[in-house]
């Protein structure tokens, strides 16, 4: 018999009631598609993308950026070790909002920090996930 594991339709939108604040944690779990090129997790205000977290298999890194009034800022691309996401493999990403940055871990291991560019944390009230993944769980 086939198992019926739940996965969310994409793009998947979640409201972050009350907005972000230091110590708030967002957890996203899924499986990267076998032929994946890219996927993203966005933390957004009503108009801007405060944090775009964008694993790219076609470039073998995780691009991070902020989009304000339709304009992307400078990308952050460095990683402390090789690209941790793998096509066909499951992952759990935890994004902890801290006072100065987002601290991101993958499968329990710290991956990177992203200094806040959009500093009105309370206004960050939407989470969006889309791209080449099976999305199993989002906890805000
Ligand atoms: C662009 C891409 C966007 C976003 C952005 C991040 O090239 O089209 O989807 O990933 O880079 O800097």
3-state secondary structure of 92: strand
- Summary mean pLDDT of the chain: 96
The alpha carbon of 14 is separated from its chain's Cα centroid by a whole number of angstroms, namely 12
Task: Evaluate: CB of 64 within 6 angstroms of ligand 1.
Answer: no
pTM of the model: 0.96
pLDDT of residue 78: 97
The pLDDT of 16-42, averaged and rounded, is: 98
- Closest residue by Cα to atom 11, ligand 1, is 72
pLDDT band at residue 4 using 50, 70 and 90 as cut-offs: low
Q: Which atom of ligand 1 is the closest one to the Cα of 40?
A: 10
Residue 6 has pLDDT above 90, yes or no: no
Q: How far is the CA of 28 from the centre of ligand 1 (A)?
A: 20
Q: How far is the CA of 133 from the centre of ligand 1 (A)?
A: 17
Residue 5 has pLDDT above 80, yes or no: no
Pairing of the two strands 126-131 and 133-139: unpaired
Say if residues 7 and 26 touch (Cβ distance below 8 Å).
Answer: no
Question: 112: alpha, beta or left, given left = phi > 0 and alpha = psi -120 to 50?
Answer: beta
Domains in the chain: ranges and CATH: 3-79+96-139 (2.60.120.200)
Answer whether the bond into residue 36 is a cis peptide, omega within 30°.
no
Q: What is the DSSP string of 78-124?
A: --SSS----TT-EEEEEEEE-SSEEEEEETTEEEEEEE-SS--GGG-
pLDDT band at residue 72 using 50, 70 and 90 as cut-offs: very high
Sheet holding 126-131, edge to edge: 12-15, 126-131, 39-44, 49-56, 61-68, 71-72
């Amino acid at each position: 018999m086939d198992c019926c594991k739940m996965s969310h339709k994409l793009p998947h939108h979640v409201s972050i009631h009350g907005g972000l604040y230091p110590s708030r944690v967002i957890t996203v779990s899924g499986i990267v598609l076998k032929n994946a090129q890219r996927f993203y997790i966005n933390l957004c205000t009503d108009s801007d993308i405060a944090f775009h977290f964008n694993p790219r298999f076609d470039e073998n890194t995780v691009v991070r950026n902020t989009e304000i009034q339709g304009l992307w800022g400078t990308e952050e691309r460095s990683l402390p070790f090789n690209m941790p996401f793998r096509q066909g493999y499951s992952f759990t990403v935890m994004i902890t909002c801290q006072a100065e940055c987002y601290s991101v871990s993958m499968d329990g291991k710290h991956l990177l920090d992203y200094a806040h560019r959009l500093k009105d944390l309370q206004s960050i009230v939407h989470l969006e996930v889309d791209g080449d993944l099976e999305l199993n769980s989002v906890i805000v």
